[in-house]
Structure 1
Amino acid sequence: MISGCDTVVTFDRHPRGMLAEAPPRLATTQLMRERLAALAVREIVLLEFDSNMRQMPPDAFASQILARRLQADSVRVGSNFRFGKDGAGRPRDLGGHGFAVEVQPLVEQGGTPISSSTIRSLVSAGEVERARQMLGCPHEVALISPANPALDAGIRLVEDGHAAPATGRYNCLVATAVGGWVPRQVSFAGGVAEIAGFADGPPLPDHALAVQLLECID
């Protein structure tokens, strides 16, 4: 831990993934680190969400993890923050463990609270422009090459576990193999993406590439 610096604490996986299928990811760990670094966050702590963490009571999480392990001076959480076994802990339960607690109201946009669940719903409905407004940047999808080499080079698959948009054609920015981004139209359907003009302009990565969704065309 870096003493006296702002630190973001999260889990290495979605807690719901221990009980059922985890919701689609909105960002890879690397992308999350890059975006937080752009906000001047100096340290990110990824807690392993294993069976012990899942069974940990709220009081133990506050005292053992936040106070003792992370040596927190102050903790800021949203008003809907839940923690500990079965999500039984509430923000008020963080008090009395030797650190200050600040509860932040939920940020809203157009009367709708901004949350990962809301953003996932917007992406899955193809409303990527509204999702971009809530995220503060375009939603980024990781694409990988299919196992079948006979398929067209412009055909890619959405990486497992990532939030894919609804079936449709989108204006996007595609990461190149030499750095930077190029505009392309990308069609999505059932986890399959087809990149128009794949061979045009700067070379694109052969295997994995990133696509930022700007707007749905049709």
Structure 2
Amino acid sequence: MEVLSLEVPHGRRGAGGGSRTGGASSSAKVAIGTFDGVHLGHRQVLDGCDTVLTFDPHPRQVLDPCHAPGLLGDRRQKLRKLGSLGIRRVAIVPFDQAWSRVSAEEFVEGVVVEQLGARAVSVGQGFRFGARGAGTTGTFDRCPELSTRIVPLVTRGSAGEPISSTRIRRLISEGDVESAGELLGSALALPAVVGDRGRLLISSEFARPAPGSYIGYVDSRPCRLRVCQDLSVAGAGTARTGSPVQVTFVKQASWAESRPAEL
């Protein structure tokens, strides 16, 4: 899978716009979105596309860091999931203040069409983009080179609640990692670093489970996990302090399973 970083467009197409990347021709089918977690709803947007246009860091981390959502995975995990779905090219917007000033029209013409050579785009219902969020799905319709597919919200559950990253974060914050994993399409897995006394430290930029006991894995080792009040994780493992690990939360532990892990 090809992974590339995009440049801020300078002017409209035909007036100093960027060149197409990776040998792109006007045939790409491009899914556009943040795709945090690459959950089951996102996969409907991705269906039938060969290219993904996404953002890293999450735009809210730049524009409103105090209210940025907890992420459902890191870049490496996102790329791995996208590759497993058959995506052949991922174009990453390295979002910063300069990107935040790109108008919706410049984004469509200078990035989606000119740099990626798109002939079709797929976005979720209610998708907004461009400076001050002025771009809507209707903005794509004004570009004659593009056909646009708008994917309605995917619902799951008796209440008909949409699958969304917000819903999954809420489940994680409530400790219901099993339901969160069902909506993600795989168990919640977060990067961590081994701290003092073997505690596993997960950065606050990620959506971390509520304090409690869980069944899961540290790297590939099955173990009981105890999320402490400070949201550090106690779990079985022998990795050295400072070592990176991946912590996977499968389900909440029952009373019999919630005895303290051997540290």
Range of TM-score over shorter length? 0.7 to 0.9
User: Of 253, 256, 259, which aligns to 1:217?
Assistant: 253
Distance in 1, Cα, partners of 2:154 & 2:109: 28
Is 2:138 aligned against 1:102? no
Distance in 1, Cα, partners of 2:105 & 2:77: 32
| SS at 1:152 equivalent | helix
Give ranges in structure 2 of 5+ residues lacking alignment. 1-21, 29-49, 255-263
Give ranges in structure 1 of 5+ residues lacking alignment. 176-180
CA contact (8 A) 2:194 2:240 kept: no
* Match in the other structure for 2:117: 71
User: Of 212, 221, 224, which aligns to 1:182?
Assistant: 221
- With the length of structure 2 as denominator, give the TM-score of the two structures: 0.73
How big is the shift at 1:205? 6.4
CA contact (8 A) 2:214 2:253 kept: yes
- The ranges of structure 1 where at least 4 consecutive aligned residues each deviate by more than 4 angstroms after the TM superposition are 2-5
- Equivalent position amino acid for 1:100 in 2: S
How big is the shift at 1:182? 2.1
CA contact (8 A) 2:215 2:252 kept: yes
Distance in 1, Cα, partners of 2:152 & 2:23: 27
| SS at 1:122 equivalent | helix
How big is the shift at 1:2? 6.0
* Match in the other structure for 2:63: 19
CA contact (8 A) 1:172 1:212 kept: yes
How big is the shift at 1:20? 2.3
| SS at 2:166 equivalent | helix
- Equivalent position amino acid for 1:214 in 2: V
* Match in the other structure for 1:178: none
| SS at 1:164 equivalent | coil
* Match in the other structure for 1:137: 186
CA contact (8 A) 1:171 1:214 kept: yes
Distance in 2, Cα, partners of 1:188 & 1:2: 47
User: Of 141, 155, 161, which aligns to 1:112?
Assistant: 161
Distance in 1, Cα, partners of 2:204 & 2:23: 34
RMSD (Å), alpha carbons: 1.7
Distance in 2, Cα, partners of 1:192 & 1:50: 30
How big is the shift at 1:106? 1.2
* Match in the other structure for 1:161: 205
CA contact (8 A) 1:2 1:43 kept: no
Distance in 2, Cα, partners of 1:56 & 1:157: 36
* Match in the other structure for 1:90: 136
